[in-house]
Amino acid sequence: MALLLKLLLGPLLVVGSSLAGRRWGAPVAGTLVALPIVAGPILLVTCLEQGPRFGARAASAALLGLVSLAVFTVAFAWCSRRTGWAGSLSVAWLVTLALDVGLARLHVPAFAAFAVVLAAAWLALRAFPPPPSPAAAAPAAPVWPWWDLPGRALATAALVVTVTTAAATVGPSMTGVLAPFPIATSVVAAFVLAQQGSEAAVRTLRGVPRGLLGFAVFCLLVAVLVEHLGTPVTFIVAVAATLTVQLLWRWALTSPARAVTTG
């Protein structure tokens, strides 16, 4: 079961977010990969294999890992202005891993870590490269090669197995901090940069900090509930709350634009 979760759930969710991005645009894809589509299965497997107490500590540490995820998006976005996907990914991963190692040494209460995540998301949005001029020509619609979606799925599966294998031996703090490692985000951002260019990659990544509220709610609920409610009930509650928060937050972000349009 754990192996199936690692090999199937994350890749399927990445493919789904990629298809949604093609249908509704890059910001939607960025918001979807900000959901716990990889960290959720990692934390679930951790709770099932190591027990609720271990899982609660890992989920609390995962909140700090979201700070690294926000930093990753900014680093990749700026690097994409000057380098290709491989260079951007290499620099952003090095920055993220270095920050993860430092954050894993901290022991911050879950609610305090939740506040830190929200502050980090706010700062990350303001650190992104400026948007292009409105007069800039719109990019041509990309032609997707046949291997695009299978490639994204395979890359996600390989990264999930690598990270979870490394995390399994390093204790709850490092396991938790590595759980939100930008696996799905890396795959989506690298493919978008390679196929559509820097502007599309930046638009996609900008959706990640905007979507971190739901991700943070998920980790917080697992951290505070799993020892009391057990793993199955906690994850059902956490997923339902995350989807609700994400939908309400998305509505709150888009409703002013609708009001201006309809007015």
Asked if 226 and 52 touch (Cβ cutoff 8 Å), the reply is yes
Check pLDDT > 50 for residue 259.
no
Check pLDDT > 80 for residue 21.
no
pLDDT top residue among 188 and 60: 60
**pLDDT, tens digit, for every residue of 85-97?**
999 999 999 999 9
Dig out the tokens for 8 from the structure: 């199937």
What pLDDT is attached to residue 262? 38
**pLDDT, tens digit, for every residue of 141-185?**
556 666 777 877 787 777 677 766 776 677 788 888 888 888 778
CA atoms of 42 and 157, how far apart (whole Å): 12
Check pLDDT > 50 for residue 59.
yes
**Domains of the chain: which residue ranges?**
2-130+147-257
What b/e string do you get for 153-165 counting C-beta neighbours within 10 Å, with b at 16 or more? bebbbebbeebbe
* Predicted structure pTM score: 0.81
Query: Which residue reads 């090095």 in tokens?
Result: 94
Q: What is the DSSP string of 110-155?
A: HHHHHHHHHHHHHHHHHTSPPPPPTTSPPPPPP---TTHHHHHHHH
What pLDDT is attached to residue 3? 63
Q: Average per-residue pLDDT in the chain?
A: 82
| pLDDT grade for 36, boundaries at 50, 70 and 90 | confident
What pLDDT is attached to residue 61? 92
Nearest to 99 by CA among 66, 133, 146: 66
Dig out the tokens for 156 from the structure: 């996600």
| pLDDT grade for 133, boundaries at 50, 70 and 90 | low
